[in-house]
Amino acid sequence: MSPELSPTEWVRKQTEQILADGTTDGVGINGMKVVLFTTLGAKSGKERYVPLMRVEEDGKYAMVASKGGAPENPSWYHNVKANPQVTVQDGDVVSVKTAREISGDERAHWWELAVAAYPPYADYQKNTDRQIPVFILE
Ligand SMILES: C[C@H](OP(=O)(O)OC[C@@H](O)[C@@H](O)[C@@H](O)Cn1c2nc(=O)[nH]c(=O)c-2cc2ccc(O)cc21)C(=O)N[C@@H](CCC(=O)N[C@@H](CCC(=O)O)C(=O)O)C(=O)O
């Protein structure tokens, strides 16, 4: 059973391209890199593809639950909380990592990395009083 694609058209298309190419290298947003995560549904138990911006340091990755600055967290946030084992595809390299939500100074460091990788994150945070959750995968 292969993981579910997003019901969101543009996201599904990017995921399909990654799967067809066998690498994330051909997909991006305004030239900024994307990584393909696979999460396990908290309720459905289904595997789900979740492409996110690439935020990486020393082999560790962040998952930034921005959802464009929406008032609510993305559904995948609940999936990762419930099932912290997440598959990561960066380029053509696939690994399985464990996610944990971060806060305080650790989050501040990774937020800086995230905004450097994808500046719109700063605008998304301005647009909502929800503190955008950040996971680290290692
Ligand atoms: C649309 C919805 O997606 P979502 O999980 O809310 O996530 C919304 C977006 O964050 C997600 O589409 C991201 O991939 C969008 N996205 C980014 N989203 C971000 O939040 N941050 C990013 O940096 C980001 C970058 C990005 C780059 C490329 C790209 O193509 C997409 C990108 C969705 O997939 N819903 C499904 C599944 C819902 C689900 O996961 N249900 C869980 C239960 C969840 C629960 O317990 O509430 C289950 O199956 O058990 C559905 O409604 O059927």
Q: With bands split at pLDDT 50, 70 and 90, how would you rate the model's confidence at 61?
A: very high
pLDDT of residue 22: 98
User: Which CATH architecture fits 9-137?
Assistant: Roll (2.30)
Which residue lies with its CA nearest to atom 8 of ligand 1? 74
Between CA 84 and CA 101 the distance in angstroms is 9
Domain boundaries in the chain? Answer: 9-137
Q: In the predicted model, what is the mean pLDDT of residues 110-135?
A: 98
pLDDT for 1 equals 82
Per-residue pLDDT at 79: 98
Ligand 1 near 27 CB (within 6 A) = no
Residue showing tokens 């595997």: 47
ipTM above 0.95, yes or no: yes
Residue of 16, 76, 80 with the most ligand 1 atoms within 8 Å of its CB, for mutation: 76
Q: How far apart are CA 39 and CA 78, in angstroms?
A: 10
Pick the residue with more confidence: 80 or 1? Answer: 80
- Residue-wise pLDDT tens digits, 98-118: 999 999 999 999 999 999 999
Report pLDDT digits (tens) over 3-47. 999 999 999 999 999 999 999 999 999 999 999 999 999 999 999
The pTM of the whole model exceeds 0.90: yes
How many C-alpha atoms does 69 have within 13 Å on its Cβ side?
Answer: 10
In this prediction, residues 110-133 reach a mean pLDDT of 98
Exposure of 3 by Cβ count < 10 A (0-12 exposed, 13-18 middle, 19+ buried)?
middle
Q: Return d(Cα 59, Cα 43) in angstroms, integer.
A: 30
Arithmetic mean of pLDDT, 92-96:
98
